[in-house]
Chain A
């Protein structure tokens, strides 16, 4: 079985937000909707201050609470682990949004554009089907599916890889099949110490954070 997963190397992320911009460009999300965000965390007090940049978004959990609570069955999980939303089924109740422990879901009730009136690019890519429903990161499933159809390998071939990973200037973001022991992400997880966000909640997230070399 395949399970697509994301790996973020916190030692490498510099918080440049290029992944955020790439995601917005690829998915045409409106203002204030960021399917891929990078948190800027400061810890400690001078002179013992540390800073970490933490990419977050939908964790594509193996046991996603958003899917269980969804009354309309709009939220589903594919066989490859990607959690999806059917915009035609979603009623926009936002139950999934309060059930998600990662604040990964957005609901936009009105069309919104960067400068009020839509620019030409925004008008062309505006999707009324996304108004009044829940939206979130898709792991760029359309890119993955199209790439696989061409015989490409997600996480290795850029054409089959999520836009945020392709754009990362520091190679902090990686994508691949975590069930394949020979995959790029499996090798990273074998070589490094990692954690997953709010793991105690039992959602089995598909987003791993590397923080140190395995010793």
Chain B
């Protein structure tokens, strides 16, 4: 294979997956992150039921959005036919398990079942990352590191929403929860940095730069600062925690929107060699 210059039409933005598909990654990721947050705190939070119900609703809404995008809606059941190689099928099975366990957890009210839901939700988020990684036609998606980024941002979005709701409706979240959120935010920024390095130059990277900057500054640095301020000034803690959680959420949503809609360039066509006319 030639390693010389390549010639060809430039990449262009894919048009097959639109906002509906992006919504699945956005709401599905946040929902799974919220379920994981709920699972991790269920033993200490008697009122985990509404959080779990919201997480399930977000995943259902995301799947509903992508259902609106498929061409043959009445055949949607066929999505379960290929668990052997398709991460979309595996995501669907993971969603089934999430909903089955989630329903059971809500019916029984047992924290350990809610914790099992968290595991299934982690599998769901993993599948979402692998769906993108398996898309060989889109360099921004097939770049190694995308799975870690998708999981990390799901945890950060769900954790941020969890903290924001808790601080708004329940009470100031315990310090260990806030520390956990801070660690997840740092992990997400690290995952973004690692992914960005592997992405290389070109259209996809340029399309992600503004969202990436927002992730680092508004989605990581600002929430960390707000969490720290809340710890130092208890009087402003609820408001600071809410803002920190929402900032973590919004930055993740924007990045995923950009990833699915703005950076989804194909690689175009390229010729490693030009024809030598007259030689045949």
Using CB atoms and an 8 Å cutoff, list the residues of chain A in contact with chain B: 9-12, 39, 41, 43, 50, 52, 54, 56, 65, 67-74, 89-95, 97-103, 107, 109, 131-133, 192-193, 195, 197-201, 203, 209-213
- Which residue among A43, A71, A95, A132 has the maximum number of chain B CB atoms within 10 Å of its CB? A71
Task: Give bound CA distance, A95 to B138, whole Å.
Answer: 11
Residue of B nearest to A133 (CB): B71
Count A-B pairs with CB separation below 8 Å: 162
Interface residues in B236-280 (C-beta closer than 8 Å to A): 264, 266-267, 269-280
Residues in A whose Cβ lies below 8 Å from that of B267: 101, 198
| Category for how many chain B residues contact A | 35 or more
CB distance A11 to B16 under 8 Å?
A: no
**How close is B118's CB to chain A, nearest CB, in angstroms?**
25
Task: Give bound CA distance, A89 to B75, whole Å.
Answer: 8
Task: Give bound CA distance, A151 to B269, whole Å.
Answer: 37
A97 contact from B16, B81, B274, Cβ within 8 A: B16
Residue of A nearest to B8 (CB): A41
Residues in A whose Cβ lies below 8 Å from that of B1: 195, 199-200
B273 contact from A41, A107, A193, Cβ within 8 A: A193
Residue of B nearest to A37 (CB): B269
CB distance A195 to B271 under 8 Å?
A: yes
Instruction: Answer whether A71 and B271 are a contact pair too, CB < 8 Å, given A11-B279, A192-B280, A201-B136.
Output: no
Using CB atoms and an 8 Å cutoff, list the residues of chain B in contact with chain A: 1-2, 7-9, 14, 16-17, 66, 69-72, 75-76, 78-82, 85-89, 92, 131, 134-138, 141, 264, 266-267, 269-280
**How close is B94's CB to chain A, nearest CB, in angstroms?**
13
A41 contact from B9, B135, B137, Cβ within 8 A: B9
A43 contact from B92, B274, B280, Cβ within 8 A: B274
CB distance B277 to A11 under 8 Å?
A: yes
**How close is A76's CB to chain B, nearest CB, in angstroms?**
10
**How close is B77's CB to chain A, nearest CB, in angstroms?**
9
Task: Give bound CA distance, A38 to B160, whole Å.
Answer: 50
CB distance B136 to A197 under 8 Å?
A: no
